[in-house]
Structure 1
Amino acid sequence: MEEKDFTILRYIAEEMHLTKAAERLYMTQPALTYRIQQLEKELGTQILIKNGKRIKFTSQGEYLVSFANKMLVEYRIAKDSLANMSSDVQGTLRIGAASIFAKYFLPSLMKSFVTQYPKVTYNVYTGPSPKIIELLETESVDIAFIRGEYKWPKIKFPIMEENLCLISKHEIDLEELPNQQRIEYSYKIRQPTLGKYRPQTSINDNLRSWWAERYNVPPLTTVIVDSYDISKEMVINDLGYAFIPEPLINKDDGLHKTKLFFKNGETIKRTTWLQYKEASEQLNIVKKFISFVRSQSFHSSY
């Protein structure tokens, strides 16, 4: 078996669909099927059971998937160690990033780092923060940018804070807010389960506390969406007001922006953290990137 065979088994296990796995491998589905058949012949055992379009690993196949994943990790460690022996900063940096940070901050951050260290290549994984923390725990990524408050027993430090703001097409008197149509963002529409990691406090909890502090009636919610970007577009089209993170608001949007304050003067805000395991700093490329991130200033508003 070769490295490519390990990757084949991993992708099939992740997709449980030969055509989708073939697409990720840049192979045709018949070529992938042929390679599996060759492996079965070479190893003298059946790996997959096909039932129409559905596939299932045999017990021997499940063992091979586990073995393949371990070998891919060992191969990655070997490559990282060899790159780390060089005096140059080079190798592959695996970054996990919460979706909003990945969209609005990570590209410019990477551009600046690439200028200093052009021999570095990147694997970037994006998604909700709980998913990114899971990738960090399993060492699928070296470092992670996490938005919000999650338990992490290893190393973490804050890199920026962002305010939650009210946006509207026209200026709104806050006293009249309960009578205005609201466009509500709901994370649960898209992600019904959060997995192992759940926020210790969520920005929606803080928003509900802010509302309860000011009003004794519920908001007039007329639209529920699963994306802050869609929320903003609906506000631009005058379908109501919304609460969204400040980094998503641009001058060119033509919207009214109001920061939210509790009666004690505190704002509703969320912190973005850089998180990693201590062992990751043994890699020169990771150590350089962490130092670089800590030297940067992140601006969350225009």
Structure 2
Amino acid sequence: MLYRQLECFLAVARTGNLSRAAEEMYLTQPTLTARLKALEEELGDQLFVRTSRGMRLTEAGREFLPYAERVVSSFEEGKRRLEELRGASGGKLVVGASPGVGTYALPGLLERFVGAYPKVNVSVRTGHSEDILEMVLREEVHLGLTREMRHPEVESVPLYEDELVLVVAPEHRFTQRGSAGLAEIGEEQLILFDNDSSYYEQTQALFTSAGIRELRTLEVDNIEAAKRMVEHRLGIAFLPRSAIVRAVSAGNLVLIRVEDGPEMTRSIVALRRRDAPASGPVRAFLELAYGMAERKEERTKLSPALAAEFENLQLIDLFT
């Protein structure tokens, strides 16, 4: 109510006339007069004197005027800022990403996002999937991009399915046939990366389930290092498809089909707190990210509100 009183005070100070100020404020004159009286009672000073020429500011009114102008101006600026935030024409977006997502998927997505919403300030934090989940829960990030993880306080927006595929150097013996069986693959030196990741666990489980216990391995701590080891003919590797698209296209790596192995995939999702209001930047980012979803039935994992919001979005390929 105080804000409305200040608006009335400024309107009368500007026009010097009660009836014109009331018309400008779309109020009746008695309502305007009542608001001015309430403001004067709140301040304990008379702000206007009535003259034959209209309303004139008292000394107290002249002293109070710049403060009232600043309050109203700050309020209007705050309203504009919130409108920007709702419409993604400003504000901030903090994204957490696991290493693979942050290196291979996020740059393409951010290129589209920043191009569409250049006034949003973006900050990116990285960590393993468990770390990203904790960042989301502690509200240190607005969204966490990582493998699918379940928590009662978190909602998942499906992004894409990332497949583990076998790659070798162009000169490798597997390239002539373009495929290999697990027994043959088990005879090769295997490059493994990041022993804390689910990719590492999937690769180990693949050979264990096939009864292959003894493997010659070379372990590194990240995907890029694994790619370089394969390129230098130090072994072969199962790597995320999202990480090797450009290397295969450039002829630095060759994709080999596994003849008797199951498809190895993991879902990459955007995590957000269920109770966190989605600002304009968050909604805009999710709209772009949701376009990456490869299976329409995954939309049933969303809350009804988010599912309806993203129903008509199309697939985005961020890896080409």
**TM-score interval w.r.t. the shorter chain?**
0.5 to 0.7
Letter in 2 for 1:269: T
Is residue 78 of structure 2 the alignment partner of residue 83 of structure 1? no
Q: Specify every segment of 5 or more residues in structure 2 that has no aligned partner in the other structure, as ranges.
A: 1-76, 175-179, 293-314
Letter in 2 for 1:247: S
For residues 257 and 162 of structure 2, the distance between their equivalents in structure 1, rounded to whole angstroms, comes to: 11
The correspondence of residues 76-225 of structure 1 with structure 2, limited to 5 A, is 83-86=81-84, 88-89=87-88, 90-147=90-147, 149-153=148-152, 154-169=154-169, 170-172=172-174, 173-174=180-181, 175-188=183-196, 202-221=198-217, 223-225=218-220
1:187 deviates by: 2.6
Q: 1:158 to 1:260 in 2, by over 3 A?
A: farther
1:118 alignment partner, SS class: coil
Q: Specify every segment of 5 or more residues in structure 1 that has no aligned partner in the other structure, as ranges.
A: 1-78, 189-198
1:211 alignment partner, SS class: helix
Q: 1:82 to 1:146 in 2, by over 3 A?
A: farther
Which residue in 2 is equivalent to 1:278? 274
TM-score under structure 1 normalisation?
0.61
Q: 1:261 to 1:136 in 2, by over 3 A?
A: farther
Q: Is the 8 A contact 2:223 2:239 kept in 1?
A: yes
1:96 deviates by: 0.9
Over the residues paired in the alignment, what is the CA RMSD in angstroms? 2.7
1:187 alignment partner, SS class: coil
1:267 deviates by: 0.6
1:253 deviates by: 4.3
Which residue in 2 is equivalent to 1:258? 256
Which residue in 1 is equivalent to 2:237? 242
Is residue 288 of structure 2 the alignment partner of residue 289 of structure 1? no
Q: Is the 8 A contact 1:98 1:127 kept in 2?
A: yes
Q: 1:128 to 1:217 in 2, by over 3 A?
A: closer
1:286 deviates by: 1.5
Q: Is the 8 A contact 2:104 2:319 kept in 1?
A: no
1:82 deviates by: 7.3
1:247 deviates by: 1.3
Q: 1:83 to 1:261 in 2, by over 3 A?
A: farther
Q: 1:123 to 1:186 in 2, by over 3 A?
A: closer
1:283 deviates by: 1.8
1:231 deviates by: 1.0
1:259 deviates by: 4.4
For residues 160 and 261 of structure 1, the distance between their equivalents in structure 2, rounded to whole angstroms, comes to: 24
Identity, % of aligned pairs?
24
Q: Is the 8 A contact 2:229 2:235 kept in 1?
A: yes
For residues 82 and 186 of structure 2, the distance between their equivalents in structure 1, rounded to whole angstroms, comes to: 58
Q: Is the 8 A contact 2:195 2:221 kept in 1?
A: yes
Letter in 2 for 1:106: L
Letter in 2 for 1:152: H
4+ residue segments displaced more than 6 Å? 79-82
1:261 deviates by: 6.8
For residues 159 and 185 of structure 2, the distance between their equivalents in structure 1, rounded to whole angstroms, comes to: 33
Range moving further from structure 2, 116-125 or 254-263: 254-263
For residues 217 and 104 of structure 1, the distance between their equivalents in structure 2, rounded to whole angstroms, comes to: 32
Q: Is the 8 A contact 1:91 1:120 kept in 2?
A: yes
1:227 deviates by: 1.3
1:83 alignment partner, SS class: helix
Q: Is the 8 A contact 1:163 1:259 kept in 2?
A: no
Letter in 2 for 1:151: R
Query: How many pairs are equivalent?
Result: 208
Letter in 1 for 2:269: W
